[in-house]
Every structure is written in structure tokens, then in C-alpha cells.
Amino acid sequence: MTEHARRLRIFGQVLFILLFLAILFWRLLPLSPGSIGWPGPDLALCLTVFWVLRRPEQVPVLTIAALFLIEDILLMRPLGLNAALVVIATEAARKREQRWRELPFMIEWLRVSMLLALMMLSYRILLAVFFLPLPPLGQVILQYIATVGSYPIIAGLVGYTFGLSRTRAERDQRLR
């Protein structure tokens, strides 16, 4: 029984890493070079928060830190700043995961949107404190709206496709 649970945990972790790297690869593709469009959602952040809330044992903190540090390096952002904020936010969500599990999805979505807002505000404040160039506020707000709007889509797609629904999470918890 424990061997089966261990295999599920490792499989879930590998699946999360592959999905994260696929999203990162998609962000790095030059789909429309030279044109400046609307800022897209941070799908990797949505995926990470969703996975931490559904299967916290499958996404260890070191995996999150390493993946977001790689993302910071490849996207040429301040080294480790976004990774540190994501680790802090996901650990805060991980501590409250048991209480959030019993609430309806709309409440979870509201709490995740508040968590994302705090992350983006903290990121902007830290950039200003260290006198780093700030992205335009309008783009940050549009990215926040897109990220919050894409959370239910990611939750639905990943939850349905890979079986990360709440009822299944509770059933797996009882099996241990």
C-alpha cells in the first residue's frame, strides 16, 4: 500500500514537472516576434497553486523553487525574486490546504486570486525597493486579470484530465 502511494507521488511529481516545462517552453517560443500584444496569464503559477492545493505531497518545495528559478533565469527576470515569492505563497496555501478543501470552488478561486494579488504587489514593491526597472502598471494588472481568469480553466483541464479532483484527493488521503 505504501509502495503504491509512493509511486503515485513520484508519478504526480514527474507529471507536474513535465507540464511546467511544457508551459515554460511555450512561453519561450517566438510566436509573434516584434509585435507587442496583451500580456498573457502566468499558467505555470496557476498550475503550481492548483497542484499544491490538490496534491501537496506531489509538489515539494524544492521542486517549486528549482522550477521557478529556472523560469527566472530563462525569462531574464531578477534572479530568484519570483521563485522566492512563489515558494512563500505556495507554502502559505499548503498550510491552509486542509481548510480550503472543504470549501466550494468559488471561495478557493477568490482566495487564490487574493494570494496572486499579494504576490504581484510584493513583486512590484520589491522591484521598487531595489531600484529595478518596473514593468508598466497596466500590463501587470492585465496579466493579473488574465491569470485569475485562467485559474478555473487550468483547474478544470488539469483536474479532469489527470484526475486531480477534490473527491479523488480525499479518497487517496483515506487510502494512506
Q: What is the pLDDT of residues 70-126, one digit of tens each?
A: 999 999 999 999 999 999 999 999 998 787 778 899 999 999 999 999 999 999 999
- Whether pLDDT at 135 is above 50: yes
Nearest to 152 by CA among 111, 88, 101, 106: 106
> How many structural domains is the chain composed of?
1
Task: Please report the DSSP string for 82-145 in residue order.
Answer: HHHHHHHHHHHHHHTHHHHHTS-HHHHHHHHHHHHHHHHHHHHHHHHHTTPPPPPHHHHHHHHH
| Mean pLDDT, range 55-76, rounded to an integer | 96
pTM above 0.85, yes or no: yes
Show the domain range for 34: 2-175
Q: What pLDDT sits at residue 46?
A: 96
* pLDDT tier at 169, thresholds 50, 70, 90: very low
Map grid coordinates 509573434 to a residue. Answer: 32
Q: What is the largest CA-CA distance in the chain?
A: 54
User: Distance between CA 44 and CA 56 in Å, rounded?
Assistant: 16
